Amino acid sequence: MNIAAIYRREMRSYFSTPLAYVFIVIFLMLAGIFTFYLGGFFARAQADLEPFFTWHPWLYLFLAPALGMRLWAEERKTGTFELLMTLPVSMGDAVLGKFLAAWSMMAISLALTFPIWITVNVLGAPDNGVIVAGYLGSLLMSGAYLAVSACVSSATRNQVIAFVVSVVLCFIFLLLGFPLILDLFKPLLPGAVISFMSTMGFLQHFDSIVRGVVDIRDVLYFITFIGLWLYAGAWAVDHHRS
């Protein structure tokens, strides 16, 4: 019940200002540009959404921190943090409610890209099961980006710092599975650590789902990742409160 109250509070704050509308418009514009221009949608002459999903990791790299940086930093800046902490809600409820509201913003923006899906079906006969899997993977990955951003935001009152640090951390997790990155650490770390690092990158798990292979291990990776960063964020908020 407390989570729902925090969730409604956050959603009202989004849509009572131009923030939600500006975010959605920017998301849709960038998604269209990446798909039809940079992704060469029509030049490929294939009825699928591969160009659409290929750019999502890079789209979220900046949009998720831009949305997440305000979650806690703005509360401290405006002085409403102390008021929020006096409400009869647990720290976990507050963190989860604010995160779910931000994640809902991502889900709404993602859902509004349905004309691209319709376009593919008009032009050809795509595998809609693969497309549904791609949307699921995209939503899960956006949650991972947001969880990192929410955690960083909980540790500072400066939104610019929260944005920059979030982008850097998300960029690291985005590239973790790349051989070039792993090769840099091979002389410094044991093989077991390198092997573990290779499984922690966003792209490895996202690409698997986008191909239509919804492996429970990939889903659990994103859910666990989100949970750990939210837990860290709750600890940071509680630390600042005390």
- Please give the average pLDDT of every successive group of 10 residues along the chain, which has 242 residues: 82 88 93 82 75 91 91 68 64 86 95 91 86 94 95 86 93 82 76 78 88 89 94 81 57
Query: What is the number of structural domains in the chain?
Result: 1
How many CB atoms within 10 Å of residue 216? 7
Q: Which of 219, 185, 187, 189 is nearest to 205 (CA)?
A: 219
Rounded Cα distance, 142 and 59, in Å? 9
pLDDT at 75: 67
Q: Radius of gyration of the chain from Cα atoms? A: 19
Length of the chain: 242
pTM of the complete model beyond 0.85: yes
Phi-psi region of 151 (alpha: psi -120 to 50; beta: other; left: phi over 0): alpha
pLDDT at 36: 82
pLDDT at 84: 64
Domain range spanning residue 93? 2-241
Rounded Cα distance, 163 and 159, in Å? 6
Query: What is the greatest pairwise CA distance in the chain?
Result: 59
pLDDT at 81: 60
Which residues 6+ apart lie within 8 Å of 39 measured at CB? 50, 51, 52, 54, 55
